[in-house]
Structure 1
Amino acid sequence: MNRLFGSVRSRATLGATLVVAVALVTAGFAVVLALRSNLTAEAGTRAERSARAVAFDLAARTAYEDLTGLDGDDGPVQILDEDGGLVAASEDLERISGTATDEVKPRPAPPAPGDDDDDSDDSGDSDDPDDSDHAEDSGGSGEDLAPGEIAGETTFGNGSATIDGDTEDYRFAAVDVQTHDRGRLTVYAGAPLAAEHSAVDTAQTAMLIGLPLLLGVVAGVTWMVTGRALRPVEGIRREMAAITASEDLARRVPEPGTHDEIARLARTTNETLTALEASVERQRRFVADASHELRSPIASLRTQLEVAAAHPELLDLDGAVEDTVRLQHLAADLLLLARLDAGERPADSLVDLAALAREETAGRTGVVVRTEPAQVTGSRGQLGRLLTNLLDNARRHARETVTVTVRREGAWAVLGVADDGEGVPEADRERIFERFVRLDAARSRDDGGAGLGLAIARDVAVRHGGTLTAGAAPTGGALFELRLPLVEEG
């Protein structure tokens, strides 16, 4: 189980399915509520229309037995007097709930007023303004109504009723009417909610059936789409595993033909493999060249020591010392290169290139120095080593003079070392900065060195945020220019 849901494909499918499920359930509830509200409002409109039709007939002095709304065809109807008593109801009404009374049989009509003059005179009191006001104030809607007026306010409620043995749920509307001869009456009329219940039940059933099917489709589509999208990732993983097992850095991961993140991942991975292959190859060449360079002085020193052991009088002490010094310098160069390759950051101390140039050229013959103050940040030791390597290289190739200049050029401090030798061919001006490269194959290692000086100088320049380039000097020889970010004097 952990392995199943530990994959991106499974998590994406589960997440998409859950999101769609929440959205569908929420939308389903909203649809059902809206459907129920709309159908209930429609039933209420029908009930109000029926109640107002009966109220209109009552306002027109229609007798109860002549009211067409009491036939029960359009739904149950109750008519209540101002005291809440049932005075008329639909035919065949057997039970009702949700109105002001659950009575289904009208009360007996009150006895008619007598015909004698006294009673007639007394009955005339019904036209007394006080009695009329009392009848108007007792309406259920709370509105003051004139005789023959129907209330504008309608109240609604839900309930049920049984008519001729059929029981249904209804939406009831209540309307008040002030009659001329029967006082204030309240008409209750109901409209069936069967359509609302049927529509809501149908919608719920459809959602209960359709929701799992739709979620299954979403899950299946998401599973297929994520599988197709992640297929290149699996190819990259398998190829990387094969590269790790075989240690063959020449292999590359497949790059999909798309322009999405996975394609960029594949390209970046191949670029990383290319850089790693170049780095490993560079290290292999470095080890091989270092072994080759160390072999000569070590073999020479061993030969001299073996000869000295057999014939002490033949000991070449100066040669042994020279070979030892060569070994010391080569070991120092290799150590510095290793530190630079490891990404050692130079110190952030201030270095005056003019003072450094004068210091490094002191005691050297045939060197001309022209400087102006120029401060940079970095390691004074590493920058001194850089300048020493440039001076040693210029001395080996110069005929007579080596010129050292320091100047300010915009935001850069520029240190130049030029000689009046034969110069460097344009095609070789970058290759000379490679490790263990010597352009003059016939030059002896004693005179030409191990071919690490310029490589070290270039690495030091790069580590200090600058550049070191080779070009042609005005005198026709080689010109090496170091450019470093200038620090303005505060």
Structure 2
Amino acid sequence: MASTVRARAAVAAALAMAAVLATGGLWLHTLLRGNLLDNTTGRTELAARKAAAQTEGRIPPPGGRLPAPEGGVDLVLVRDARGRTVATSGEPEAVPGPDLAGLRPGADGDSRSAVLPPARPGAQRRVVVAVEAPGAHTVYAMTVLGDVDDATRAVAIGLLAGAPPLIGFAAALAWWVTGHALRPVTAIRTELAAVTASELDRRVPDPGGADEIAQLARTVNDTLDRLERSDARQRQFTADASHELRNPLAAVRSRLEVALAMGRPDRESVEAALADTERLQRIAADLLLLARLDGGPGPRTEPVDLALLAAEDVARRGGSRVAIRLDARAPVPAAGDPARLERALANLVDNALRYAREEVVVRAGAADGWALLEVADDGAGIPEADRDRVFERFVRLDAARGRAGGGTGLGLAITREIARAHGGDVRALPAPAGGARLVLRIPSP
């Protein structure tokens, strides 16, 4: 891949250099040609005007000869109104033919100039300037454009000869620069290819800086960090689930084996096996719900009253071990999935009932743009060091009592995932009565 990118960069650089040389060379050639032609035309016009002034009204001059022009002008001649040459500064054979007949100065006395093609094969182009002279005569000055053509030809040859080395240099430079720039990409690709399921702790090298390649390396490392954490959570979750399922299965098996050995199952063994089976069902249901929360679609959103949810949950818990008190003085509007929010509240209340001594308080309210569900108990509370850990999966601060009470160790973890899916969170705080206060909050509509 790196070689392909380098080759493309080299080709692009070569094409760009060729385009620059073509455009710049054409511009330079045109500019130089025009400048030289303007200078030559100016010198030629000056020689023509000077010749017209030197005649001092004597046309033709004595002897029909004009002084040799200066400034590199090759020929000056004078023609009458009929187009006959009456004076010249050169030899008669150097006088041009009738190709000057159409070149006349303007009526306002302005000069006229033209570039004449070669008179014969192998000859050179000429620039001719016509100016008005006394007596309806016209003075023509002529300069051969050999120097102009030679200079422009030399520039063109120089550009054509220098273009291939410059294009090759640009391609080589692009190849080297691209290879140097892509060296960190090669290192990132090599290290990333070595990352496997058993070596998720590997990281790609960070070249430093703030360019795109450095940002790519950091993004890849951040992705690997998340992947490693996800893999660790999955492994821990698998181990915890296996442990949680193994104990009830072992208990059911042992009771069934005892009943089989007795030849006739007693009621107590059947009830105990049934209780363990129900526990297995709850664990399986909670695991399935967590799987849906982890990778499934987001919760459906519809208007919901948290105060009404709290009242319905309290009404369903008649005859509980401790008293349950509802504190919801007004409706608490929110937006979310009523079924999932109901499950989250039920998990909080179940947890509070498990540890409360005399009373559990369920509150619904709103504050600072959040809709709140709060469940407080008067139990032993949650140590400050464990207030975050208590929402992890299969975490029990009192494992023996949790199993005795029938908990799966997943209720608070499910509540946290539901709260996060709704854009909120859940926290554990100390309760006024000395127990635990679990507060779930989601954004108010």
Structure 1-normalised TM-score? Answer: 0.83
Q: CA deviation at 1:86?
A: 2.3
Q: Which residue of 1 aligns with 2:154?
A: 202
Q: Which residue of 1 aligns with 2:221?
A: 270
Aligned counterparts, 1:195-234, within 5 A? 195-234=147-186
The residue matched to 2:432 in structure 1 has which SS? coil
Measured in 2, the distance between the counterparts of 1:359 and 1:230 equals 63
Aligned counterparts, 1:417-432, within 5 A? 417-432=375-390
CA contact (8 A) 1:161 1:170 kept: no
Structure 1 range deviating more: 32-41 or 50-59: 50-59
CA contact (8 A) 1:159 1:172 kept: no
The answer to whether residue 373 in structure 2 is matched with residue 415 in structure 1 is yes
Assess, with a 3 A threshold, how the Cα gap between structure 1 residues 447 and 52 changes in structure 2: closer, same or farther. same
Q: Which residue of 2 aligns with 1:377?
A: 335
Unmatched runs of 5 consecutive residues or more in structure 2: none
The residue matched to 1:68 in structure 2 has which SS? coil
Q: Which residue of 2 aligns with 1:134?
A: none
Share of identical aligned residues, percent?
44
Measured in 1, the distance between the counterparts of 2:155 and 2:51 equals 35
Q: Which amino acid aligns with 2:215?
A: R
Q: Which residue of 2 aligns with 1:292?
A: 243
The answer to whether residue 308 in structure 2 is matched with residue 350 in structure 1 is no
Q: Which amino acid aligns with 1:211?
A: A
Measured in 2, the distance between the counterparts of 1:270 and 1:346 equals 31
Assess, with a 3 A threshold, how the Cα gap between structure 1 residues 291 and 90 changes in structure 2: closer, same or farther. same
Q: 1:35 aligns with which of 32, 36, 39?
A: 32
Measured in 2, the distance between the counterparts of 1:393 and 1:92 equals 124
The answer to whether residue 274 in structure 2 is matched with residue 321 in structure 1 is yes
Measured in 1, the distance between the counterparts of 2:11 and 2:64 equals 68
Q: Which residue of 2 aligns with 1:121?
A: none
Assess, with a 3 A threshold, how the Cα gap between structure 1 residues 233 and 313 changes in structure 2: closer, same or farther. closer
CA contact (8 A) 1:346 1:378 kept: yes
CA contact (8 A) 1:139 1:185 kept: no
Measured in 2, the distance between the counterparts of 1:96 and 1:431 equals 110
Assess, with a 3 A threshold, how the Cα gap between structure 1 residues 96 and 22 changes in structure 2: closer, same or farther. farther
The residue matched to 1:479 in structure 2 has which SS? strand
The residue matched to 2:67 in structure 1 has which SS? helix
Q: Which amino acid aligns with 1:92?
A: E
Q: Which amino acid aligns with 1:225?
A: V
Q: CA deviation at 1:96?
A: 5.6
Q: Which amino acid aligns with 1:140?
A: R
Q: Which residue of 2 aligns with 1:118?
A: none
Q: CA deviation at 1:187?
A: 1.5
Q: Which residue of 1 aligns with 2:63?
A: 65
Measured in 1, the distance between the counterparts of 2:114 and 2:306 equals 97
Q: CA deviation at 1:480?
A: 0.6
CA contact (8 A) 1:461 1:467 kept: yes
Q: Which residue of 1 aligns with 2:107?
A: 143
Q: CA deviation at 1:78?
A: 2.8
RMSD (Å), alpha carbons: 2.4
Runs of 4+ in structure 1 deviating by more than 6 angstroms, as ranges, are none
Structure 1 range deviating more: 356-365 or 284-293: 356-365
Unmatched runs of 5 consecutive residues or more in structure 1: 103-137, 145-150
Q: CA deviation at 1:308?
A: 2.1
Q: Which amino acid aligns with 2:104?
A: G
Q: CA deviation at 1:178?
A: 2.5
Q: Which residue of 1 aligns with 2:76?
A: 77
Q: Which residue of 1 aligns with 2:17?
A: 20
Measured in 1, the distance between the counterparts of 2:283 and 2:187 equals 46
Q: CA deviation at 1:97?
A: 5.2
CA contact (8 A) 1:21 1:215 kept: yes
The residue matched to 2:375 in structure 1 has which SS? strand
The answer to whether residue 129 in structure 2 is matched with residue 173 in structure 1 is yes
Assess, with a 3 A threshold, how the Cα gap between structure 1 residues 360 and 64 changes in structure 2: closer, same or farther. farther
Measured in 2, the distance between the counterparts of 1:405 and 1:213 equals 82
Q: CA deviation at 1:20?
A: 2.1
Q: Which amino acid aligns with 1:46?
A: R
Q: CA deviation at 1:70?
A: 5.2
Measured in 2, the distance between the counterparts of 1:141 and 1:336 equals 101
Q: Which residue of 2 aligns with 1:403?
A: 361
Aligned counterparts, 1:386-401, within 5 A? 386-401=344-359
